[in-house]
Amino acid sequence: MASPIRILTAVPICDGHDSAINTINLEFIRHGIEVIYLGYHRSVGDIVRAAIQEDVRAIGISSYNGGHIEFFAEVVDLLRKRGADYIKVFGGGGGTITHEDAAAMKRRGVEQIFFAGTSLDDMVKFVHQRYGKPREKRARAKTPDIELAQRLTEIEESRNAKVESRKQKKIENRKSKIENPKVIGFTGPGGAGKTTLIDELVLRFLNKDRQSRIAILSHDPSVIGEGALLGDRATMINSQDDRVFMRSMATRGQAGGLSPATHDCLALLAQSNFDHVIIETVGTGQEAMPFQQNGIVDLNVLVMNPDYGSRLQLQKIVMLDLADIVVVNKSDLQRARTAHSEIEQRLEQNRRAQRLIDTVAKRHRDSGVDGLFNLISGGERSHRVKARKKS
Amino acid sequence: MSKLGQVVEAVEKYNKFVLDQVKRARSDEKFGRELADRWNETKSKTPVTHTPTGLPLPRLALPEIDEPGEIARYLFGEGLPGEFPFLNGAYREMYLAESGNWTAETGKQNPKSEKSPSAAAENSKAEEPTRLFSGLMLAEDTNERFHFLSAHQRSKRLSTAFDGPTLYGIDSDADGVFGKIGEGGVAIDTVEDMVRLYDGFDLGSPIFSASMTISGPAPIIMAMYIAAAKRRFGPKVVPKLRGTIQADIFKEVQAQNETIFPIEASLRFLTDMVEFTTREMPRWYPISISGYHIGEAGSTPVQQAAYTLSNGFAYAEMFAARGIPVDQFGPLLSFFLDCGLDAEYIALSRVSRRIWAIGMRDAFGAGPRGQLFKLHTQTSGRSLIAAEFKNNLTRTAAELILAYMNATNSCHSNSADEPFTTPSEEWIRLAAHGQAILLEESGIFKHTMNMLSGSPGMKAVERAVEKAILDEFREIERLGGVLAAVEDRFQRSQIQNAAHRYEQQIYDGTRPIIGLNRYRNGSDDVPEVKLSRTPRKKQQLQVDRLAKFKKKNAEKAKRALDKVVAVVERGENCFPALLEAVEVCSLGQITGRLQEVVGRFRPMV
């Protein structure tokens, strides 16, 4: 079966009209399309960077606040400038985009503008017809990011890709390896705040070392038999940065919180020029232990919400045995203190040097997140960074 | 229990109180007789008016009941227009045509004599209920437009729309915003722009009021307005300033997405502003609690009312917690709702008015003026569609009738060409005339209060809507109150689900849309669209002016920003520092610096 079509959707800067795009996104994923949603109020640079990293077939822009002729054209121009004009641009804006505007936009390289009254069906058909065919062979990648993005696509589209896997590690009785890990895995139930926490950590990584580069591999579930809405980018404000390479993956039918291609993609990222690689699973259940089969991460972080229910529930959460660090996020909630002590007791049974940290990731400059950062950044720079500086 | 839980209890308790009064009126003969006497007196003192054909009609219609229990149910459960719990209207006469001596005859105090500034109906005798909405290109262009629009108005009631960069608190010279400067609203970067915007208008005059539709950076824009007024009229003008600023953070997070600081910081800056304006500017409405955008984003009517009311109660709780007396801020809260075509709209605002009054009285201890749900309604933009767009005239007309059946204090009717563009003059005129036809030409609303109120159908909708709103309150309360629910993105996801369901219903035809999925003739005509876009030259002018301002004030700006930061970090009210900062700093400089201290808003999807 052919891989699902991947497209990126976004709303331009200074525009918060996301009602139309939300509805369109849902319609796309119901028809087998994987949508990386970047959110509203997004700059040209953010959109183009994300489209390249995600290696999408096209960018759909929904604009209701004017200035669309310039904005769409700037996206097209920047794609061209970055050597990524294989990514196409389409969009709409209800009645705000006139036929004359649309003609001008098409002259500047926009593929299609949908007018008010276009049915969702027609938009889905357009995407399938225009972007559903296999890609033409692409010219040699012009930048390292493009090359990496395209190789990730190759892996995802064909699981036979010959990519060197990292050696599988044993996991039993593994000592907690907290200091200076390269690949950090985040897992935990949906709504615990994993994405926000990662975004806050990225901010600290970027600020600590002005040269460091971070990769993020983020997962969202595929709708059964259909597409997927990959929306983590939309809530990330610090990770839209040229020093962050982020890739969103759909689980494509695989249980356990990761995608069939995760392992190989992660291996590629780990070999690439990043100081840290962060991997985020989909929201997981009690039995999940997503990183264990392959030993693919150096450090396991479990992010919990204080509202996990009764103490008994804790006994059933397998990741509590396996995590190196357990984070109780949203520790400003009333139940957080109880949660902390219950989890602490639960971890003591394991007799491993597991760490328990309370955070409020939504809070600016949260001291808990600082603590977590200090723990996983090891307080000193990695060898990789030093090596690169010398060269 | 949060205040919202207390509101639910208060409404339940009040409903029980009404039933008790009904029983008492039936069992306690003396009480029953008193009620019947009052009822008969009200009826007999109601003046008679005459229609153009000479038909005599009472100026207040009341149900034909004479049984004390039913009278109690009406007087306590609904209240006469202008009486608690205000189901039938916030004021006694609303849109009735002028007549003799109603106030003198009934001996009641006429609420219109209370000089409170904004809500249109209060001042309808002195001021037109019309607000002239405009905002385009640069400040001087909007200013010219304001002068043109208000040239023949007794009162100058200006309503200001801002461009995208301003709404997001960023400057016209920011990366990637060229092209959006002055689009969809006026570009404001500095206090100098604000001076230009209202040039030639007497900001301290009792017949001038300014409305500003902006929320995210509202405290900074408010400070710019005050600073501009002081530059022109001296410091003594401040207590005289009249107007409204939207400043509704909750609905931005729930629906409209123009938030620039994290929620808690946004609410803190808002409260700083409200503390200042309610104390220093008693004629200024510092917040317009808005459901319109929630409805436009796709909520059901019940969600719209429930979220708007609960947002309102959350603001009230917050302001009270800051120590602002409820009778200082209560009368300065106002509301803004959507009116569409669904059956709920037959009584949505009536029920909202009642819940607000009971909640403010019984959960917040507000006095009579703080109990009033002062409402501006706008017909539904979302109900208007591009296909066979002239049908939109009929949609808007029906919505107007519903809005006035709900006794809204003021109303804006949308133009039929709204699905296409910023409305053109031709269709704006038709929309405005729709209101005049309804209120002035037709006899529906001008002769008799309650003309269309109280039908069995309306009562049925009232009961169903009230129950549904209280259920929403309980759900929000269960999630830990409004702020917790917002952070959990409860309202957002509910709104999105409703929006999607609505689209599905249109698609599968269970929601008929005439000309779109039913009776479509396929020959869509399109209005002649005349766009006013901001020429590049003008956009460049704005950028150049800003550069000049920044250069001129570079030294002072640094000190002013440091001071703002210090005040914010000390946890003090930052509004006075903002008032100083706007003299020498641009909007973007201030928001940028504040974001360094409190962070940026993390978007929700």
DSSP code per residue over A250-286? E-TT-SSSS-TTHHHHHHHHHHSS-SEEEEEPPP--T
Among chain A residues, CA nearest to B170: A14
Query: How many Å apart are CA A366 and CA A360, to the nearest integer?
Result: 6
pLDDT digits over B227-266, tens only?
A: 999 999 999 999 999 999 999 999 999 999 999 999 999 9
Query: How many Å apart are CA B476 and CA B490, to the nearest integer?
Result: 8
A67–B164 CB contact, under 8 Å: yes
pLDDT (0 to 100) of residue B386 = 84
Does any CB of chain B come closer than 8 Å to the CB of residue A93? no
Q: Are strands B48-50 and B56-58 parallel, antiparallel or unpaired?
A: antiparallel
Q: Are residues A254 and A377 in the same domain?
A: yes
A66–B183 CB contact, under 8 Å: yes
Q: Are residues A82 and A189 in the same domain?
A: no
More confident residue, A147 or A312: A147
Query: How many Å apart are CA B237 and CA B114, to the nearest integer?
Result: 21
Q: Which residues of A touch B172 (CB under 8 A)?
A: none
pLDDT (0 to 100) of residue A98 = 86
- Picking from B423, B403, B405, the residue whose alpha carbon sits closest to that of residue B414 is B423
Q: What backbone phi and psi angles, to 5 degrees, belong to A51?
A: -65, -40
- Outline where B479-535 has alpha helix (H): 482-487, 490-508
Across residues A56-82, what is the average pLDDT? Answer: 95
B257–A16 CB contact, under 8 Å: yes
For the CA atoms of B454, B510, B336, B487, the dihedral, rounded to the nearest 10 degrees, stands at: 120
Among chain B residues, CA nearest to A99: B529
Query: How many Å apart are CA B374 and CA B89, to the nearest integer?
Result: 10
Query: How many Å apart are CA A247 and CA A255, to the nearest integer?
Result: 19
Query: How many Å apart are CA B250 and CA B263, to the nearest integer?
Result: 8
Q: Out of A234, A363, A365, whose CB is closest to B603?
A: A234
Across residues A278-307, what is the average pLDDT? Answer: 85
Residue A391 has pLDDT above 50, yes or no: no
pLDDT digits over B33-51, tens only?
A: 999 999 999 999 999 999 9
Across residues B130-153, what is the average pLDDT? Answer: 84
pLDDT (0 to 100) of residue A389 = 38
Query: How many Å apart are CA B349 and CA A292, to the nearest integer?
Result: 56
Across residues A124-132, what is the average pLDDT? Answer: 96
Identify the sign of the CA torsion B374, B378, B379, B382: negative
Q: Are residues A220 and A356 in the same domain?
A: yes
pLDDT (0 to 100) of residue B312 = 98
Across residues B57-71, what is the average pLDDT? Answer: 96
Across residues A138-159, what is the average pLDDT? Answer: 91
Which residue's entry shows tokens 């040209």?
Answer: A44
**Residue B512, both tokens:** 């008929």
pLDDT digits over B341-387, tens only?
A: 999 999 999 999 999 999 999 999 999 999 999 999 999 999 998 88
Residues A333/A306, Cβ–Cβ less than 8 Å: yes
pLDDT (0 to 100) of residue A172 = 33
pLDDT (0 to 100) of residue B605 = 85
Residue A386 has pLDDT above 50, yes or no: no
pLDDT digits over B181-212, tens only?
A: 998 899 999 999 999 999 999 999 999 999 99
Task: Tell me whether residue A162 is in a domain.
Answer: no
Across residues B536-560, what is the average pLDDT? Answer: 97
Q: Are residues A109 and A188 in the same domain?
A: no
**Residue B430, both tokens:** 């038709």
Structural domain containing residue A71: 6-131
Q: Output the furthest CA–CA distance in chain B (Å, rounded).
A: 80
B130 falls in which pLDDT band (50, 70, 90)? low
Q: Are residues A62 and A205 in the same domain?
A: no
B296–A119 CB contact, under 8 Å: no
Task: Tell me whether residue A367 is in a domain.
Answer: yes
Q: Out of A66, A94, A234, whose CB is closest to B184?
A: A66
B602 falls in which pLDDT band (50, 70, 90)? very high
Residue B304 has pLDDT above 60, yes or no: yes
Residue A261 has pLDDT above 80, yes or no: yes
Q: Indicate which of B257, B290, B587 best probes the interface with A, i.e. most A CBs within 10 Å of its own CB.
A: B257
B499–A70 CB contact, under 8 Å: no
Q: Are residues A317 and A380 in the same domain?
A: yes
Q: Out of B258, B499, B604, whose CB is closest to A23?
A: B499
A116–B184 CB contact, under 8 Å: no
pLDDT (0 to 100) of residue A160 = 34
Q: Which of B3-17, B69-83, B426-440 has the lowest mean pLDDT?
A: B426-440
Q: Roughly how many angstroms between the first and final C-alpha of chain B, as a whole number?
A: 29
Q: Which residues contact A107 (CB under 8 A, 6 or more apart)?
A: none
Does any CB of chain A come closer than 8 Å to the CB of residue B151? no
Q: Could you give the number of structural domains in chain A?
A: 2
Q: Averaging pLDDT over each range in A144-148, A329-333, B134-138, which range is the top one? A: A144-148
Alpha-carbon distance values, B375 to A57, A160, B115, B290, B350 (Å): 48, 64, 17, 10, 10
Query: How many Å apart are CA B484 and CA B481, to the nearest integer?
Result: 6
Q: DSSP code of B346? A: G
Q: What angle do CA B459, B460, B465 make, to 5 degrees?
A: 100
Residue A164 has pLDDT above 60, yes or no: no
Domains present along chain B, CATH in parentheses: 1-114+287-521 (3.20.20.240), 131-245+552-605 (no CATH)
Please enumerate, as own/partner, the contacts of B568-576 that have beta carbons within 8 Å and a separation of 24 or more: B568/B594, B568/B597, B568/B598, B569/B597, B573/B272, B573/B275, B573/B276, B574/B219, B574/B269, B574/B272, B575/B219, B575/B223, B575/B272, B575/B273, B575/B275, B575/B276, B576/B276
Listed residues A115, A131, A147: the one ending a domain: A131
Residues in chain B: 605
Q: Are residues A354 and A216 in the same domain?
A: yes
pLDDT digits over A198-243, tens only?
A: 999 999 999 998 999 999 999 999 987 789 999 999 999 999 999 9
pLDDT (0 to 100) of residue B524 = 67
pLDDT digits over B431-481, tens only?
A: 989 999 999 999 999 999 999 999 999 999 999 999 999 999 999 999 999
Residue A374 has pLDDT above 60, yes or no: yes
Residue B531 has pLDDT above 90, yes or no: no
Predicted ipTM?
A: 0.86
Does any CB of chain A come closer than 8 Å to the CB of residue B452? no
CB count in 10 Å sphere of residue A334: 11
A14–B167 CB contact, under 8 Å: yes
Q: Which of B87-91, B308-312, B329-333, B434-438 has the lowest mean pLDDT?
A: B434-438
Task: Tell me whether residue A384 is in a domain.
Answer: yes
Residues B434/B393, Cβ–Cβ less than 8 Å: yes
pLDDT (0 to 100) of residue B94 = 87
pLDDT (0 to 100) of residue B128 = 61
B183–A65 CB contact, under 8 Å: yes
% of chain B with per-residue pLDDT over 70:
93
Task: Tell me whether residue A138 is in a domain.
Answer: no
Task: Tell me whether residue A263 is in a domain.
Answer: yes
Query: How many Å apart are CA A21 and CA B511, to the nearest integer?
Result: 21
**Residue B161, both tokens:** 């729309």
Q: What ranges make up the beta strands (E) of B59-215? A: 132-134, 156-161, 208-213
If you write DSSP's letter for every residue of B224-257 in order, what string do you get? HHHHHHHHHH-GGGGGG--EEE---HHHIIIII-
Q: Indicate which of A9, A13, A14 best probes the interface with B, i.e. most B CBs within 10 Å of its own CB.
A: A14
Alpha-carbon distance values, A362 to B107, B134, B577 (Å): 57, 37, 27
Residues A295/A170, Cβ–Cβ less than 8 Å: yes
pLDDT (0 to 100) of residue A179 = 52
Q: Are residues A187 and A123 in the same domain?
A: no
Across residues B316-326, what is the average pLDDT? Answer: 97
pLDDT digits over B408-426, tens only?
A: 998 999 999 888 777 777 8
Residue B31 has pLDDT above 50, yes or no: yes
Task: Tell me whether residue A322 is in a domain.
Answer: yes
- pTM for the full model? 0.91
Q: Out of B420, B531, B602, whose CB is closest to A362?
A: B602
Does any CB of chain A come closer than 8 Å to the CB of residue B148? no
Does any CB of chain A come closer than 8 Å to the CB of residue B387? yes
Across residues A46-70, what is the average pLDDT? Answer: 95
Sheet of A88-92, strand order: A112-114, A88-92, A58-62, A6-10, A34-37, A228-230
Query: How many Å apart are CA A34 and CA A158, to the nearest integer?
Result: 17
Q: Are residues A59 and A199 in the same domain?
A: no
pLDDT (0 to 100) of residue A294 = 59
Does any CB of chain A come closer than 8 Å to the CB of residue B503? yes
Task: Tell me whether residue A256 is in a domain.
Answer: yes
Summary mean pLDDT of chain B: 91
Residues B560/B531, Cβ–Cβ less than 8 Å: no
Q: Which residues of B touch A96 (CB under 8 A)?
A: 420-421
Residue B337 bridge partners (DSSP): B377
B176–A120 CB contact, under 8 Å: no
Task: Tell me whether residue A146 is in a domain.
Answer: no
A120–B503 CB contact, under 8 Å: yes
Residues A84/A149, Cβ–Cβ less than 8 Å: no
Q: What backbone phi and psi angles, to 5 degrees, belong to B133?
A: -85, 125
Query: How many Å apart are CA B471 and CA B180, to the nearest integer?
Result: 42
Give, to the nearest 10 degrees, the angle between helix B456-478 and helix B348-358. 50
Listed residues A94, A114, A131: the one ending a domain: A131
Query: How many Å apart are CA B417 and CA B597, to the nearest integer?
Result: 44
- CATH number of the domain that residue A116 is part of: 3.40.50.280
Q: Which of A30-44, A277-291, B321-335, B583-597 has the lowest mean pLDDT?
A: A277-291
Which chain B residues in 259-288 lie under 8 Å from chain A, judged by CB atoms?
262, 265
Residues A90/A5, Cβ–Cβ less than 8 Å: no
Across residues A361-369, what is the average pLDDT? Answer: 94
Does any CB of chain A come closer than 8 Å to the CB of residue B325? no
pLDDT (0 to 100) of residue B513 = 95
To the nearest whole Å, the CA of A235 is away from the closest chain B CA by 5
Residues B90/B374, Cβ–Cβ less than 8 Å: yes
Q: Which residues of A touch B215 (CB under 8 A)?
A: none
A66–B419 CB contact, under 8 Å: no
pLDDT (0 to 100) of residue A3 = 86
pLDDT (0 to 100) of residue B100 = 39
Which residue's entry shows tokens 């396996």?
Answer: A322
Q: What angle do CA A199, A223, A287 make, to 5 degrees?
A: 70
Q: Which residues of B touch A117 (CB under 8 A)?
A: 385-387, 516, 524
CB count in 10 Å sphere of residue A175: 8
Among chain B residues, CA nearest to A72: B179
- CATH number of the domain that residue A384 is part of: 3.40.50.300
Q: Are residues A125 and A205 in the same domain?
A: no
Alpha-carbon distance values, A99 to A90, A92, A115, B266 (Å): 14, 11, 8, 40
